Amino acid sequence: MESYLARVRYLARHFSALQGLRMVPLGLFLLASELHRFTDHPLLQYKRADSLLLLAVPLVGAYVLVGRYYERRFGSAVAQRSAGGDALAAVGLLCWLLAAGWTDARLEALFHSRPVITGLTLGTWGLMIWGRRRERRHYLWLAAIAVAASLLPWPPRTQAGYMNVVLGVALIAGGVLDHLMLTRLVRGLGEGPHVEVP
C-alpha cells in the first residue's frame, strides 16, 4: 500500500511536468529551424524570418492539440504551489543559455569551434532536472549527450545551430520519455489496490 500511495503522491506532485509531449512541438521547431543549413531543397531556401513564421504556425497548433489530448486522456490537476518559481527558473536558464552562446562565439578560436560553454550549460540543465526528480534518469543521458556533442568540432559560427539541434533533441527525447513515464504511472495506479467505500 505504501508504494501505491507514494506513486499517487508522485503523480499528483509531478503531473504537469510529466506531460512531456507538450515539449515535442518546441523541439521540432528548433530542429526544423536548422534544417535549411543541411539541405539545398528549394522549399527550405527562403528567408529565415519567413521560414520561422511558416514553422511556428503548425507547431502552435500541435501544442494546442497535445494539450487537449492530455485533458481528454488524463484529466487535469491543480498544482498546490504557484508555477512562478518554475517560470523564473526557465527565464534564468534562457538568459544563461544566451550568455553561454555569446561567450562561445567570442571564444570560438580558443575552443576551435566547439560550443563548450553552451554544452556545459545544457548538461547542467539536465543534471538539475534529474536532481529534482531522481526517477527521470533519462535526463542524465541527455546531459551527457549535450556535453559530448559540445566537444565535437562544429562549423564556424554555428553555436546557435548547436544549441537548436541539441536542445531540440533533448526536448523531443525527454518529452517522449516523460510521457511514457506518465502512462506507466497511470497504468500502475489502475492496477493498484481498490478500497470500497460503504
* Predicted pLDDT of residue 190: 66
175 within a domain of the structure (yes/no): yes
pLDDT score at 175: 92
Q: List the one residue out of 182, 170, 187, 171 whose CA is nearest residue 63.
A: 171
Q: According to the model, what pLDDT value does residue 71 have?
A: 87
pLDDT given for residue 91 in this prediction: 82
- Residue 124 near residue 143, CB atoms below 8 Å: yes
What is the value of pTM for the model shown? 0.75
DSSP sequence for 72-107: HHH-----SS-THHHHHHHHHHHHHHHHHHHHHHHT
Q: Where are the alpha helices (DSSP H) in 19-74?
A: 24-33, 48-74
Half-sphere exposure of 188 (CA within 13 A, CB side): 15
Domain presence at residue 195: no
pLDDT of residue 177: 92
**pLDDT tens for each residue of the chain, 198 residues long:** 357 777 777 777 777 878 889 999 989 888 887 776 666 555 555 555 566 677 778 888 888 899 899 888 887 765 555 555 666 877 887 888 888 888 888 888 788 778 888 889 889 888 888 887 778 888 899 999 999 988 888 877 677 778 888 889 999 999 999 999 888 888 877 655 544 433
Q: What is the pLDDT of residue 135?
A: 80
For the chain, helix, strand, coil in percent to 5 are 75, 0, 25
Q: Does some domain include residue 152? A: yes
Predicted local distance difference test score (pLDDT) of residue 197: 36
Q: How many CB atoms lie within 10 A of CB 13?
A: 15
Q: Which pLDDT score is estimated for 172? A: 93
Tell me which residue range forms the domain holding 63.
2-190
CA 124 to chain centroid? 13
Structural domain contains residue 198: no
Quick check: is 171 in a domain? yes
SS3 at position 160 = helix
Cell of 67: 494539450
The count of other CB atoms within 10 Å of the CB of residue 62 is 17
Domain assignment present for residue 161? The answer is yes
| Number of domains observed in the structure of the chain | 1
Closest CA relative to residue 158, chosen from 45, 38, 50: 38
Chain centroid to Cα 132, Å, comes to 15
Q: Is residue 196 part of a domain?
A: no
Q: What gap in Å lies between CA 8 and CA 15, rounded to an integer? A: 10
Rounded CA gap, 122 and 132, in Å? 16
What angle is formed at CA 126 by the lines to CA 124 and CA 128, rounded to 5 degrees? 70
